[in-house]
Structures are given as structure tokens and as C-alpha cells.
Amino acid sequence: MSATEASQIDTAIDNLNPLDAIPQSGETAEGVTLVDANFSNDIGLGRSGSYGKDDDTVGAFFKEMARYPLLKPDEEVELAQSVKQMVDIEQHRLDLCEQLGRIPSKTELAKSLAIAPKALDRCLYRGRKAKHKMIRSNLRLVVSIAKRYLNRGVPFLDLIQEGAIGLNRATEKFDPNKGYKFSTYAYWWIRQAITRTIANDARTIRLPIHIVEKLNKLKKAQRTLKQNLQRNPSEQELADELELTPVQLRQLLQMRRQSLSLNHRVGKGEDTELLELLEDHELRLPEEQMNEAMMSQEVSAVLDEVLTERERDVIAMRYGLTTCQPHTLEEVGTMFNLSRERVRQIQSKAMRKLRRPQVARRLRGWLT
């Protein structure tokens, strides 16, 4: 490094706490803009139904991303070395913090690393700038991977952001000394972040990861069998392909069904909620409620005219006429301090009275 370059770095970090410049695990690089103008036509930006009100935001992101060119191989290695050095310093700081039982000062950290405090500042500054540049220059890769997971229940912008988190993690973990291209290594981190957020957030009711993986295998098996058989595969063929029993396959197909909110708006103008169109099977018609009230009044009148007070109470308790909950002979006996046999006798006597022709005619009309 030239003396002029070192002087410029020193000036830039004079008022910067170098430990604050170390990104924590899972933290995205500050100031990274998730955009790329080159992909706007490929993904159908601006077409009806693509992204709706987010079109302007996505378009602005794409235009901004075009400002950051791709890295050359030697430049990529140089930046990765700076990032790795910064990450190693952060790991050393964590180890030292555990040993001391407190956060070490900059002087203590520099002494532990056998370097000058100013050199420590330069390493951290270069590492942070290198990490930002690697992330910005590889956001095209994030968009390229995110395009493959459109229409999976997660907005496109969210896919890009989750992919950027994976890219951030790949930048921290990449080791340029192993000879691999950074894009090859970062691909798996980006893809994992995107697929994991789809598994967690795409459904109203979250499914466990292992179930999501089985559903993905099911989808792949359906596609493969349809291509090979030139028709839709049967349940038995799918079960054989996935090495599942028919019962397990049906359970898997049931879990694949998506939940739909009752507040989901439907119709041409989307001015009606789904809840307004669903029938409430427990809601009774006014005619039914009126007939039930009239029948209850007629039965009560017949019981009052024909039976004694005790007989009426026993019949009402046995058949749940007042509580809608029938009771056994033993329960009724406990309530009236009677034996089970005595309750049965009272019930039999009351039923004989109610079966008289003149009484039965009054009640028979409500049974048809």
C-alpha cells in the first residue's frame, strides 16, 4: 500500500470506531441497494399482474444496480482476501472477549494480533469496503436466482432481500484460497436463503421444513411421470415413485392445499370479501326459528294440562326439554331424591298419559 493510500484511509476512519465496522452474523451490508436494470425485461416488469404497485420500486432497484459492474477474477480474489481478514479479526475479538470476560479495547485487540492500532483500523476499513463492493457487484446473481422462484407465495422484493442476506453470509464465509469462483460458492447460500423463506412465509399456516421438502419431491415426481407417461400419473404410480403408501400420499396431497383468508377480496372489482359469499350452515331461517318456538309452547301447554308437576319435571329432565341435555334415570333420581326405579315408574305413567289419542293428535302435527 502506498503512503498516499494509507493516508487517505487514515483520514476516512479517524472518526470511525473500527469495531462498529465489523458486520455481525446475518447482518446485511449497510447501503446495499438490491437492484439490476438488466433484468427488468426478462421478468416482465410492467406487465399487468406482474408486481402491481411494486413495479416502480423494482424498476428503480434495477436501474440503480446497473451502476455496479461485475468483478474481474483477480479483483474478486483481492476483495475476498480483505473480507476474510476482517472476519478473522472479528472472530479473534470474540475469542478474546470470552477470555477476558469483557469487550476488549482496540489497543488490546491490536496487541493480541501483534499489529499496530492504525493497521487494525486499516484492515477493518478495507474489509468493510471490500464486502460492500462484493455484495453490490453480485446482486445480479441474487435477482437471477430469485426469478426462478416467482409466484411461490412470497413477493419478488422479499425474495431479493432474503437472497441478499444469503449473499452477505456467503461473502463472510468465502475462502478465496480454495480456488473456487465466488459466484459458484454464493449460489448455494442465496438459494438456501430464498427457499427457506418460501418454506417459512409462503403459507398462511407454516409447514415443517421436512414436509416442504416432501412436497417439492412430490411436485418433481408428478412432472417427471407426466413427461414419461404422456398423461397425469395415478395415485398408485406416484406412491410407488416416492416409496410411500397410498394413505401417506393422500395425507401429503391434503397438506399441499393452500389456505385462503376469509377476508380475501374476490369479484371483478375485488369489492367483495370471501366471507360474504359463504353460507353459514348453523344459521337457521326465521321460519325454522318460529316453528321451533311454537312447538315448544304447544308441548309445554300439553304437559301442563295432562301431567302432574312431578311428572312434567321428570319428562322435561329425561328428554332435555328445558336444558337441551337429556339425563339418565339415575341423574334424575339424584336431582329429585328418588330411586332409579321410582323415576322409571313416573316416566312410564307420564308417557301413557301422553299416548292417549286426544293428546297424541295435538303433538303429532309437529312431527311431520
Instruction: Identify whether residues 184 and 230 lie together within a single domain.
Output: no
Instruction: Identify whether residues 168 and 252 lie together within a single domain.
Output: no
Instruction: Identify whether residues 266 and 292 lie together within a single domain.
Output: no
CATH value at residue 180: 1.20.120.1810
Instruction: Identify whether residues 263 and 315 lie together within a single domain.
Output: no
pLDDT in tens, 114-171: 888 898 889 989 999 999 999 999 988 999 999 999 888 888 889 999 999 999 999 9
Structural contact between residues 239 and 249, judged by C-beta atoms closer than 8 angstroms: yes
- For 196, 261, 282, 285, the CA distances from 278, given in Å and listed in that order, are 34, 12, 12, 16
Nine cell digits for residue 94: 470474540
Instruction: Identify whether residues 141 and 167 lie together within a single domain.
Output: yes
Instruction: Identify whether residues 50 and 111 lie together within a single domain.
Output: yes
Structural contact between residues 225 and 241, judged by C-beta atoms closer than 8 angstroms: yes
pLDDT in tens, 233-259: 998 999 999 998 989 999 988 888 877
Instruction: Identify whether residues 192 and 228 lie together within a single domain.
Output: no
Please report which confidence band the pLDDT of residue 366 belongs to, taking 50, 70 and 90 as the band edges: low
Give the Cα separation of 125 and 12 in Å (integer). 9
pLDDT on residue 367:
60
Helix 182-201 to helix 139-146 angle, to the nearest 10 degrees?
40
Give the Cα separation of 174 and 182 in Å (integer). 7
**DSSP H or E stretch at residue 265:** strand 265-266
Tally of domains in the chain:
3
**DSSP H or E stretch at residue 272:** strand 272-273
Percent of the chain with pLDDT over 90: 22
CATH value at residue 243: 1.10.10.10
Instruction: Identify whether residues 161 and 299 lie together within a single domain.
Output: no
Average pLDDT, the chain: 80
Give the Cα separation of 71 and 269 in Å (integer). 48
Instruction: Identify whether residues 152 and 267 lie together within a single domain.
Output: no
Instruction: Identify whether residues 344 and 236 lie together within a single domain.
Output: no
* Domain end (from 180, 201, 222): 201
pLDDT in tens, 305-353: 888 888 888 888 888 887 778 889 888 888 889 898 998 999 899 888 8
Owning domain of residue 359: 286-367
Instruction: Identify whether residues 35 and 164 lie together within a single domain.
Output: yes
Instruction: Identify whether residues 243 and 295 lie together within a single domain.
Output: no
